[in-house]
Structure 1
Amino acid sequence: MSSNALPEIAGYKPGTYNLDPSHSEVQFSVRHMMISKVRGTFGVKSATFVVPENPLETTVEASVDVTSINTSDENRDGHLRSADFFDTENHPTMDFRSTGVRYEGGEFLVDGDLTIRGITKPVTFDFDFGGFGTDPYGNYKAGATAKTVINREDFGLTWNAALETGGVLVGKDVTIELDLQGSRAAE
């Protein structure tokens, strides 16, 4: 099979899948003091995946609750919610809307528009179908993971502090990872 031929996806069932928030999470990591990484999470507010017969025609819309940011440090989380960073009072969500799906080099890539702090930029997520199956309650589920790296300054998240030893407190590149599960909507 060529690396661009679509793989068989076990249990693949077209339909509309709505977010199961108790089994979904958005994680991020960013360099701190240029020597380590700070990791955190956001709660996913909503997500809808429309999965047609052809996986390359899949569409994704998702909204993340930025006010739910959790880095295991209340003071840092408060600062991240402030106007220095996410300005959650004016921009309480981070939103994604896909513009296309590609299969290249043996991987699915989901292109789309990411909006953070009112600024929309194109991004590409490496996307992995985790699988499909029926839970013990008869609900048909789909799972997926996705990952991208963005430059936070492209989205107006420019606050930083110079360090006496050189470098800055917060790195520019932020890795975003999504673990998502959805339930197939009744037809």
Structure 2
Amino acid sequence: MTAIAQSSIPANSTWTVDAVHSTVGFAVKHMVVSTFRGRFETYDATLTAGEDGALRLVGSVAADSISVKDENLAAHLKAPDFFDTERFPQVTFNSTLVRTDSGELIVDGELTIKGITRPIEARGTITEPAVTFGDVEKLGVELEAIVDRTEYGLDWNAPLPKGGFALANEVKLQVNLELARA
């Protein structure tokens, strides 16, 4: 992925997610020894460039679209111990500042999970717009951020017999977006 300056994106343009070619997921240390990964199947994202060229990224995830390899675990993740999807069906993100520094994309914003909104900083890359099949102009955004899940009310954990806990509090959020110009 070639990183670009945000000024390469045309002013007054809107870019919408191509969900077939994008992913929204997470990774968390499990049982102290390995990294567990999951993803969400239903999400939306829009990148806009204002008249002045300033970028804004917004997105949402349907919390009950969480996908893991075990249906019992998926049910637990949808329950009040974790996402409580009945009461809180959406996870949302709204950027407050999008910038580049030495070729790295930095996105500051607010992440809301279970009705709790906290500031977050994500880092990654953004690609130069390119014309693809069907004469569609696209660009790519890849971002990672680290959050403490307990700050969002995702508090469940279990102590291990010889020390440590089943889950780390630190979770890596991973967003890979292919966005098409609207």
Is TM > 0.5 for Structure 1 vs Structure 2?
A: yes
Alignment partner of 1:87 out of 63, 69, 84: 84
CA contact (8 A) 2:15 2:181 kept: yes
AA paired with 1:150? Answer: V
User: What is aligned with 2:176?
Assistant: 179
CA contact (8 A) 2:4 2:127 kept: no
Deviations 1:74-122 (A, max 9, x none): 1111110111100011111110000012333542211000001110000
Instruction: Please state whether the residue corresponding to 2:134 is helix, strand or coil.
Output: coil
**Structure 2 residues not aligned, in runs of 5+:** none
Deviations 1:110-157 (A, max 9, x none): 100000111000000103103321121111111110110000001000
Instruction: Please state whether the residue corresponding to 2:77 is helix, strand or coil.
Output: helix
Deviations 1:59-82 (A, max 9, x none): 011001211111211111111011
Change (3 A) 1:75 1:28: same
CA contact (8 A) 2:95 2:107 kept: yes
Give me the whole-angstrom Cα distance separating, in 1, the residues matched to 2:42 and 2:49: 19
Alignment partner of 1:47 out of 15, 24, 45: 45
Alignment partner of 1:162 out of 139, 144, 159: 159
Percent identity, please.
Answer: 36
Cα root mean square deviation, aligned: 2.0
Deviations 1:168-187 (A, max 9, x none): 111100001101011111xx
CA contact (8 A) 2:111 2:119 kept: yes
Give me the whole-angstrom Cα distance separating, in 2, the residues matched to 1:10 and 1:90: 40
Give me the whole-angstrom Cα distance separating, in 1, the residues matched to 2:5 and 2:155: 43
Give me the whole-angstrom Cα distance separating, in 2, the residues matched to 1:16 and 1:94: 22
Report the CA distance between 1:53 and its aligned residue. Answer: 6.9
User: What is aligned with 1:3?
Assistant: none
CA contact (8 A) 1:144 1:179 kept: yes
Is 2:43 aligned against 1:68? no
Q: State the aligned residue count.
A: 179
Alignment partner of 1:109 out of 106, 111, 117: 106
**Structure 1 residues not aligned, in runs of 5+:** 1-5
CA contact (8 A) 2:126 2:142 kept: yes
